[in-house]
Each structure stands twice: as C-alpha cells, then as structure tokens.
Amino acid sequence: MKLSGVYRLVNLKTGWIYWGCSESGIGRKRKQHYKRLRTGNHPNKKLQQDWNTFGPDAFRFEVWERTAPERARERKEYHMLLHANEHPDIAVYNERHACRNKAVHAAPFGPPPRLEDIPALGTTPDGVLKAV
C-alpha cells in the first residue's frame, strides 16, 4: 500500500523546510527529490543551492502526516500555514507559485492567517494528526 500525505525535507544546518505532499506514494516523492538534488536538477533553486553547499547529510526527510490521497494537498497547505504562524522565524523553501493548486495560490502571500482561524488539531490513537 502506498503512503499518501504530507512530508518535510529539513535542512539541519539552517532550519529551512521544504513542505511537500503526495497523493500516490511519499516514498516515490522522496526518491524523486533526492535524484533531482543529486543530479543538480531540482526545480527549487534555493533548495538545490543549499544541497550543493551543505551536502545530503545536512537534510532529513520526514513523513509529517498520513492522509487520504484526496486530502494531501489541503493538509500540506494547513501545515505550511500553521508553521508560518508558530515559527515565523524559520524560513521555508516552498515558492507559492510552484504549487499545482492554483485556486489556493491565486493571490500572493499576504500576512499569515490568525492562529485562531486555523482548525484545531487532534491526534488519532496511532499518533496521526488530524483536524478536529
């Protein structure tokens, strides 16, 4: 069974984070990212630059949340907004225009939403975060 959901690629030297999601296999996305980074062909130029500078050992791939395939993009957006509110000092590699969900990204980044406007999170018995 392929794992769908939200993942992060964390730069352990700088703290920068790349948020991603997969509807059809997080393991496959991990392989794609690492192959592109190793060959110098990643579309995210800042991420590629840091990979070239710090090397592969400076990065950690983390599965952040398992989701139903149809909710993966929505949950990625949720976690990016939550991160922006809780950790405004930690930068992300993601470029807003790079996301395929044009409806969500039609407007440029504005101020982050108020924390009280973001749905609360709960945890399932197996430790997976979910909106409550």
β-bridge partners, 11: 59
β-bridge partners, 19: 8
The answer to whether 82 touches 118, Cβ cutoff 8 Å, is yes
pLDDT, tens only, 15-31 = 999 999 999 899 999 99
pTM across the whole model: 0.70
| pLDDT at residue 102, rounded to an integer | 33
pLDDT, tens only, 75-102 = 999 999 888 888 888 889 987 533 333 3
What class, spelled out in words, does domain 5-131 have in CATH? alpha beta
| pLDDT at residue 99, rounded to an integer | 38
Across 97-116, b (16+ Cβ under 10 Å) vs e yields eebeeeeeeeeeeeebeeee
The more confidently predicted of residues 37 and 127 is: 37
| pLDDT at residue 83, rounded to an integer | 86
Distance of alpha carbon 13 from alpha carbon 129, whole angstroms: 27
Burial group, residue 42, by CB count within 10 angstroms (0-12, 13-18, 19+): buried
